[in-house]
Amino acid sequence: MGVPEQYVRAGKLAREMRAWILENVSVPQTCLEIATRIEEEIARRGGQPAFPTGIGINGVTAHYAPQEDDQTRIGGSDVVKIDYGVHFDGYIADTAVTISDSPDYQLLLETTKRALEAAISVVKRDPRTGEIGKAIEATAKQEGFRTISNLSGHTLEQYTVHAGKSIPNVYAPNQPVLRRDDVFAIEPFLTMGSAAGYVVDDPKGGPVTIFSLIMRKRTGVAELDRLVEHIWNARKSLPFTPRWFAKEFGRERLPKLLAELERRKMVRGYPTLVEASNAPVAQFEHTMKLEGNSLVILT
């Protein structure tokens, strides 16, 4: 049967975008500017963002997409994670890079990259997800770092970023096995050895910036129905960020509408995840597929 060709296209564009990011993102750009330009560049090259571009500075680890009022600038001593994705017809390539100008964090970045490479070489000979986690964890420990235990890689399916199987960043017994034709992302998150080593919902209670539609039905409220149809047409079940729809629905009004859809269990919000001790976290990620006995890195 094989893997749909759109995955290959998405992977190629994601790979090209990595080169673009490494060339174009630099201090002291704002998070908003970085995310917006990446999404515009993906569109300009004929793709669509698979999810809102995540910009995670230091302890901010995942699920943060800058909004219009975010004036945060990246600094030379920051550890900046850029998590982005491309989709064609819902077939997703998910990838991430971390940048930092600080010499203090070069070993963290390099080790995270090496953990991803170690994971990839394990998949080739032993596609048990627990063994992949073990290799990631061992690579981290060799250099005195630790992994984020409650964030995982994941299988991908059409219009679904997190499909059935998780690929942990720690050893876990009795984990599912990756199979032929599975498309999946491996994403080690590493932090300092002295850190807590897990993420929590943003303790500052900042706004939720990433959502997805989980049920499409009529509410009987015209404004909500219009928003649901708008999300469905633009995203189906793929994640979105309020920034994308602010013009259409109003920057002030939209969060209220989304809160109402969340209350009705039609929309799900993904809170920003922060390392529990607020230690800096690095992340590298590739999307790949198992084709028979060979592993193809898509991104």
Q: How far is the CB of 285 from Co ion (least distance, A)?
A: 6
Binding range to Co ion, per CB under 5 A, among 45-53, 112-120, 123-131, 177-185: 177-185
Identity of the residue, 221 or 295, whose beta carbon is nearer to Co ion in the bound complex: 295
The CA distance from 1 to 126, in Å, is 22
Interaction of residue 97 with Co ion, rule CB under 5 A: no
Mind telling me the catalytic residues?
83, 94, 154, 162, 187, 285
Report DSSP letters for 8-75, one per residue: HHHHHHHHHHHHHHHHH--TT-BHHHHHHHHHHHHHHTT-EESSPPEEEETTEEE-----TT---B--
Q: Are 156 and 175 in contact (CB under 8 A)?
A: no
178 binds Co ion (CB under 5 A): no
Stretch of 13-21, 57-65, 138-146, 180-188 lying at the interface with Co ion (CB under 5 A): 180-188
- How many residues make contact with Co ion (CB under 5 A)? 3
Q: Report in angstroms how near the CB of residue 229 gets to Co ion at its nearest.
A: 28
User: Which lies closer to Co ion via its Cβ, residue 31 or residue 167?
Assistant: 167
CB–CB of 34/55 below 8 Å? Answer: yes
Beta carbon nearer to Co ion, 70 or 285: 285
User: Could you tell me the smallest distance in angstroms from the CB atom of residue 61 to Co ion?
Assistant: 12
- 290 Cβ neighbours under 8 A, 6+ residues apart: 123, 127, 178, 179, 180, 181, 182, 296
Cα–Cα nearest to 83, from 207, 181, 199, 210: 210
CB of 148 to Co ion, least distance (A): 13
Judged by CB under 5 A, the chain residues 220 through 249 that form the site for Co ion are none
If the CB atoms of residues 156 and 254 are measured against Co ion, the closer one turns out to be 156
Sorted by sequence, the CB contacts under 8 Å of residue 185 that are 6+ apart come out as: 94, 95, 153, 154, 156, 167, 285, 286, 287, 288
Work out whether 94 is an interface residue with Co ion (CB under 5 A).
yes
Stretch that binds Co ion, among 37-45, 69-77, 89-97, 109-117 (CB under 5 A): 89-97
**Binder to Co ion among 13, 185, 257, 266 (CB under 5 A)?**
185
Smallest gap from residue 286 Cβ to Co ion (A) = 10
What does the H/E/C string look like for 223-288?
HHHHHHHHHHHHHCCCCECHHHHHHHHCCCHHHHHHHHHHHCCCEEEECCEEECCCCCEEECEEEE
Closest to Co ion by CB, 198 vs 249, is 198
Q: Which stretch binds Co ion (CB under 5 A): 39-47, 59-67, 92-100, 258-266?
A: 92-100
**d(Cα 113, Cα 285) in Å, to the nearest integer?**
8
As measured in angstroms, the least distance from the Cβ of 172 to Co ion is: 18
CA dihedral 257, 273, 62, 48 (to 10 degrees): -10
Binding segment (CB under 5 A) for Co ion, from list 38-46, 70-78, 187-195, 202-210:
187-195
Residues that bind Co ion in the complex, under the rule CB under 5 A: 94, 185, 187
